Structure 1
Amino acid sequence: MSEERPLTEWERARRRAEVFGEALPETTRDERDETDRRGERRDGDTWLREQVPPHHGG
Structure 2
Amino acid sequence: MAERDDDTPRSETPWERRRRLAAIFGDAEPAVTSDERDDVPPAERESAADRWLKSQVPPHHGD
TM-score range, shorter chain: 0.3 to 0.5
The alignment's TM-score, normalised by the length of structure 2, stands at 0.31
**Whose helix fraction is larger, Structure 1's or Structure 2's?**
2
Q: Which has the greater radius of gyration?
A: 2
TM-score, normalised on structure 1? 0.32
